[in-house]
Amino acid sequence: MYTFEFVRAGSIDDAANIHELNPEARYIAGGQTLIPTLKQRLAKPEMLIDIRNVDDLKGIHRGGTAVGIGAMATHREIAASDALRTACPAICHLAGEIADPAVRSRGTIGGSLANNDPAADWPAAILALGATVVTNKRKILADDYFKGLFTTALEPGELITGIGFQLPEKAGYAKFAQRASRFALVGVFVAKFANTVRVAVTGASESGVFRAHALEAALNADFSVAALAGQKASPSGLISDLHAPAEYRAALIPVMAERAVTAALS
């Protein structure tokens, strides 16, 4: 590690004001990505702004069909939420499948979305649910938020404060995990609403999370596992690495979609 200044913010405005005075500073929440990055000297900010104690970034709230999750909610808290388990168990299932207990206890949904790792689980849920990413400056629709590999619509210094979405009628998530990291080789989140079905895929594409429009069309016509029979995905543009070639990931996409629909229907 190297020398840097560590500042603890007391509020959202406090964090934003500190960053405005120190544009090269980085926000730190759970630190599950940032700390290893610092250790490897891949990032060398002169200041870290600790937002862990900002109460306005915490909490899980449900009002009717609307759900709000604070950016500082940990994966463990979301997995254990009774309010979410009765409303959308797919969210709890996804959170409970992230990494290991140590990571789930410290890692946050806001940090995951800000980092936008191409194999992370949360981007698939947020995109499939058509959620809104709320920041200290504005609200960003999920379809406009994800811009590519580790890239989002966030501006410098912009801080995610929470995520909001309307509850789907049914939802399911299934992933084929890389055994060591538990990141998704392929993860598919399916969400059925009254008038549409949204399907998002993570872990597969060189450009990050994406919507699977062919699968959406099939499920809009008939929300069943049978509707996905014969569906195929092209390996073009998919990740090919030491864990799996692009062709393998392409083959996994419809399989994980079938499992996600099975979970949604059960």
Q: Any idea which architecture 1-52 has in CATH? A: 2-Layer Sandwich (3.30)
Please check whether residue 188 is in contact with residue 258, taking contact to mean a CB–CB distance below 8 angstroms: no
For 229, other C-beta atoms within 10 Å of its C-beta total: 10
* SS3 state of residue 260: helix
Place of tokens 């890239």: 151
For 45, other C-beta atoms within 10 Å of its C-beta total: 17
Fold for the domain defined by 170-265: Enolase-like; domain 1 (3.30.390)
User: Which residue spans of the chain are classified as CATH 3.30.390.50?
Assistant: 170-265
Q: What pLDDT does residue 2 have?
A: 75
Angstrom CA distances, 100 to 35, 173, 179, 195, 208, stand at: 17, 18, 11, 36, 22
Q: For the chain, which ranges sit under pLDDT 70?
A: 1
User: Closest Cα to residue 257, out of 193, 213, 196, 208?
Assistant: 213
In degrees rounded to 5, what are phi and psi of residue 108? -120, 155
User: Which residue spans of the chain are classified as CATH 3.30.43.10?
Assistant: 1-52
pTM of the model as a whole? 0.96
